[in-house]
Amino acid sequence: MRLRITFQKTGEIIYTSSLDLQKIWERSLRRAQLVVKYSEGFHPQPKMQLAVPLPLGFNGKEELIDLWFIYDYSKEEILERLRKALPDGIELISIDEIPENQKALNGLAESAEYIVTIIDAVISTPYLEKSIHCLLVKKDIVRERNKKSYDLRPLILSMELCKSNSNQPQIHMHLLARSGASGRPDEVVKELGIDPALCEIERIRINFKK
């Protein structure tokens, strides 16, 4: 039985790494007395799969995890047990059953969308409009990640200012999120001439291949 859970990641837990987040899920499943399948081999691991790891410090509005269960629990039972077992900062949204042999989440991911909120009052909307335009007209944006050069420009699918309910300007970013070709919003923010520490970044959606 393979289930896909959609959840939000907020609060202090946004500073938890993907590896530690997986351990949190493992502990919570044990606490909820939900039995998952294990991989084969010398070092069996619980069968679970997070979609497109979220960098430290980012909020996640619709994060995804696939879990393989031994027993056919009802979706209502799983949601009820997990909501009691998971720590603050992880809020369950929905749960869906999917085919056991469907491809890995990361292999299906195509792109991701983010909302970047600028919390520095000095940065004006006209400045952002000009910076976004200048960035998008560039043919290439050479940066370095993990001591390797790469071109950030083809990883940016679209970017624009969006309406905000507050006085803080917000940017909607649509970035590539394929395995081996994934754009990071904090790196885009740096290219806009803004310190990422002066922003709040939330991933609002992961888009998958159809």
- pLDDT for 8 equals 96
Distance CA 210, CA 205 (A): 15
Is the domain spanning 107-208 CATH 3.40.50.1980? The answer is no
Annotated domain spans of the chain: 2-102, 107-208
**pLDDT at position 39, please?**
84
CB 48 within 8 A of CB 66: yes
Question: Which pLDDT value is given to residue 203?
Answer: 97
Write down the pLDDT at residue 53: 86
Quick one: pLDDT at residue 41? 77
Distance separating alpha carbons of residues 120 and 199, to the nearest angstrom: 7
Kindly give the confidence (pLDDT) of every residue in the chain, 210 residues in length, as a single tens digit, with 9 standing for 90 and above: 899 999 999 999 999 998 999 999 999 999 999 999 988 878 888 899 998 889 899 999 999 999 999 998 999 999 999 999 999 999 999 999 998 888 888 788 999 999 999 987 788 888 999 999 999 999 999 998 888 899 999 999 999 998 777 778 999 999 999 888 899 999 999 999 999 999 999 999 999 987
Q: Which CATH number fits domain 2-102: 3.40.190.150, 1.10.3330.10, 3.40.718.10, 3.30.70.580?
A: 3.30.70.580
Distances from the Cα of 58 to the Cα of 9, 61, 94, 140, 199, angstroms: 8, 10, 21, 26, 10
